Amino acid sequence: MFYTVTLNPSIDYTVTLSELVCGITNRTRSENFSVGGKGINVSLVLAELGIESTALGFAAGFTGEELLRQIASPLVHKDFIMLRSGSTRINVKIKAGSETEINGAGAVPCEEELDCLLNRLDILKDGDTLVLAGSVPSALNEDTYERFLERVSGRNVRTVVDACGKLLLRTLSYRPFLIKPNRQELEEIFGVTFSSQNEIPCYAGKLQKMGARNVIVSLGGDGAYLLDENGRLHFRCAMKGTAVSTVGAGDSMTAGFIAGYEREGDYAAAFALGTACGAATAFSEGLARCDEIDSLYQSLCSYEQEVLA
């Protein structure tokens, strides 16, 4: 079974305008509400791939109730803790030529509520996969994800961490199966600025030496690297298509990778499915749909990926 954890989910309110002008009343061309949160996105894309998962996390207030209502897939089992105070955040995404985001802070769980969620992990067993993805409420400590991995340590649980900074670094001693920083996050972790993307594999290797088993570094329109635990470096160019929105593309790549590895037990195949899922979302208004994923995956399978080492 796959389990995802989203500690700071959201209702995403996306508006499209011809132009955004500060200081005046702007009127939208279109509006859309959707659920947000990296772990939830992973569960929803897994569902498109025909895979069941349990989505864990926190929700609060009337926005939290709406969040849970909108997670409607029968393949996503919702196991959220409703917090006693606060409201699930609303994130505003403005499309007006470029994309602008205004993200809310979100509700803050108390220690008792966090412990309650940690207790839910006791049902995980050997062979399960646990995905920790996204930000945590600002009042929680940088050891939050570390506590989740500590809770499942000693069991053969495949763990995935998609976070940044110290939140990510503190989990590496638990040897997560997969981490997926993007280029900017990798630069921030090591305090460097890459002059060429050829420098990136070296720093992916540093993260691997610190404990990560597999490292994907996503480069947006420039493709992605995978340094697998066998020491092989893979690279895939970005797929050709018209990008509509990058929101959720990285989460979709994560879902595709873990689904592909579960099915095939092969990192090249997992990377291909992850690439197809990420592209399918980037080319869509919302998250990728199964037919879009399949079409792109089939086109990827028609030629070899580049294995650099």
CA-CA distance, 189 to 176, in Å (whole number)? 17
251 is catalytic: yes
Query: Nearest Cα to 278, choosing from 198, 232, 227, 221?
Result: 221
CA-CA distance, 226 to 132, in Å (whole number)? 19
Any idea what DSSP says for residue 238? P
CA-CA distance, 145 to 134, in Å (whole number)? 10
CA-CA distance, 3 to 233, in Å (whole number)? 28
Amino acid at 122: D
Count of helix runs (H) and strand runs (E) in the chain: 10, 14
Alpha-carbon dihedral sign for residues 248, 137, 143, 84: negative
Q: Give the active site residue among 12, 228, 251, 294.
A: 251
CA-CA distance, 143 to 172, in Å (whole number)? 11
Residues with catalytic roles = 251
